[in-house]
């Protein structure tokens, strides 16, 4: 039987991939009704993931290769991300990220390339947050996770908000991964720890909104309050809320994220990573994993990274 660390690492990566793939057909919709989602869930078609998972796997392999070294090397990572885009450019990449990758491949240093988009201040899209979850697997604590996340983010997202979104998601992933699924999640403590690590006031107020929305709020109401678009500040908080609504049920967290509409692949991917990092991969519906592209390779990569989780130290 797989170790608990391995089961949780598999949950983190497979939860991210399956959320992305299930949410992808609905990306950009104002909202998604239950019947549409049920049709997607019952289909026998392969579940294809998008750029979110493609780049999550790049970062996961980067971290696995760097065992015994500084966990994130910006120069190496920038090239690896850009080459993945060139290999499969049809996965649905954001326009800002495509611009950065083109320049990096043409030889422009990432520090310069990442600042060219959006009138010179760089992207505050959610593209750094959407790929960041594997950072949790090599972090020593929530603050460390946030630091490594910012390092991994800056190579494409020069804007502070793009980096803070990644820091928040990585910190949440670390806390979810290190939580004990046998006892109920302490949501107050979880949000308190996130707020302690992510100090920027804009993000603090989003976390306060998340706290107030836990419980009864519908996905569409939550989206109207928190936002659901492809910017970091209007997507990572909704993913954290989806997790806090259903911390022990990855399928429900993913459904909640998709039904909120907007950037459905990305928000469902982030929510899936958080939830299944807590529960372990066995809580993801097996019929979803059976349809998921490359599921067994993703599981193998998770096993490799699992030997670096804090629980095995
Ligand atoms: O961040 P990024 O890679 O996008 C990820 C998204 C996810 O939904 C993926 O599933 C994929 O579909 O793309 O790419 P960016 O283009 O840098 O950022 C995403 C979007 O955020 C942009 O297309 C803009 O709509 C918005 N955005 C900004 N808008 C105005 N000003 C990001 N930065 C800015 C900005 O500075
Ligand atoms: Mg995508
Ligand atoms: Mg370095
Ligand atoms: Mg998306």
CB 233 within 8 A of CB 165: yes
Nearest CA to ligand 1 atom 10: 266
Whole-number pLDDT of residue 245:
98
What does the pLDDT look like over 39-98, one tens digit per residue?
999 999 999 999 999 999 999 999 999 988 999 999 999 999 999 999 999 999 999 999
**Which of 125, 154, 229, 231 for mutating ligand 1's site (highest number of atoms within 8 Å of CB)?**
125
Separation CA 67–CA 45 (nearest Å): 37
Q: Is residue 1 a part of any domain in this protein?
A: no
User: Is residue 2 included in any domain, yes or no?
Assistant: no
**Is 147's C-beta closer than 6 angstroms to any atom of ligand 1?**
no
pLDDT score at 309: 46
How many helices, marked H, and strands, marked E, lie in the chain? 16, 0
Per residue in 103-145, pLDDT (tens digit) is 999 999 999 999 998 989 999 999 999 999 999 999 999 999 9
pLDDT class of 307 with cuts at 50, 70, 90: confident
Question: Would residue 203 count as lying in a domain?
Answer: yes
Most confident of 24-38, 246-260, 296-310: 246-260
Centre of ligand 2 to C-alpha 19, Å, is 10
In a domain, residue 198? The reply is yes
The boundaries of the domain holding residue 196 are 7-309
CA distance 126 to 128: 6
Predicted confidence band at 308 (pLDDT cuts at 50, 70, 90)?
low
The per-residue pLDDT for 247 is 98
Question: Which residue, judged by its Cα, is nearest atom 31 of ligand 1?
Answer: 118
pLDDT computed for residue 263 by the predictor: 98
Q: How close is the Cα of 150 to the center of ligand 3, in Å? A: 13
pLDDT cut 70: percent of the chain above it: 98
Mean pLDDT of the chain: 96
Q: Of 63, 66, 64, 113, which is closest to residue 85 (Cα–Cα)? A: 113
pLDDT tens column, 171-217: 999 999 999 999 999 999 999 999 999 988 999 999 999 999 999 88
Q: Kindly provide the ipTM of the predicted complex, given to two decimals.
A: 0.97
3-state secondary structure of 292: strand
Task: Quote the percentage of the chain above a pLDDT of 90.
Answer: 93
| Structure token digits, residue 286 | 């097996």
Residue 231 Cβ contacting ligand 1 at under 6 Å: yes
Instruction: Quote the number of domains for the chain.
Output: 1
- What CATH code is carried by the domain that includes residue 205? 1.10.4080.10
Q: Do the domain assignments include residue 35? A: yes
SS3 state of residue 120: coil
């Amino acid at each position: 039987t797989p170790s608990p660390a391995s089961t949780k690492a598999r949950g983190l990566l497979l939860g991210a991939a399956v959320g992305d793939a299930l949410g992808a057909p609905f990306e950009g919709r104002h909202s998604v009704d239950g019947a549409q989602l049920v049709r997607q869930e019952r289909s026998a078609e392969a579940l294809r993931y998008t750029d979110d998972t493609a780049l999550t796997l790049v970062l996961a392999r980067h971290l696995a290769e760097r065992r015994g070294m500084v966990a994130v090397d910006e120069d190496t990572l920038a090239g690896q991300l850009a080459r993945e885009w060139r290999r499969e450019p049809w996965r649905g990449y954001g326009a800002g990220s495509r611009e950065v990758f083109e320049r990096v491949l043409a030889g422009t240093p990432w520090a310069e390339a990442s600042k060219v988009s959006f009138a010179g201040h760089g992207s505050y899209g959610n593209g750094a947050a959407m790929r960041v979850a594997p950072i949790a697997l090599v972090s020593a604590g929530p603050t460390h996770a946030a630091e490594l996340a910012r390092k991994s983010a800056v190579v494409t997202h020069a804007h502070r908000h793009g980096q803070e979104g990644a820091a928040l998601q990585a910190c949440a992933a670390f806390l979810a991964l290190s939580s004990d699924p046998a006892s109920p999640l302490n949501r107050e403590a979880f949000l308190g720890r996130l707020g302690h690590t992510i100090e920027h006031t804009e993000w603090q107020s989003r976390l306060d909104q998340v706290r107030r929305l836990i419980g009864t709020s519908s996905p569409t109401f939550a989206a109207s309050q928190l936002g659901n678009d492809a910017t970091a500040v209007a997507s990572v908080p909704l993913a954290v809320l989806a997790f806090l609504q259903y911390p022990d049920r990855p399928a429900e967290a993913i459904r909640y994220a998709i039904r909120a509409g907007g950037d459905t692949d990305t928000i469902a991917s982030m929510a899936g990573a958080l939830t299944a990092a807590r529960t372990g991969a066995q809580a993801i519906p097996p019929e979803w994993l059976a349809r998921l592209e490359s599921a067994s390779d993703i599981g193998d990569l998770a096993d490799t990274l699992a030997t670096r989780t804090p629980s095995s130290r």
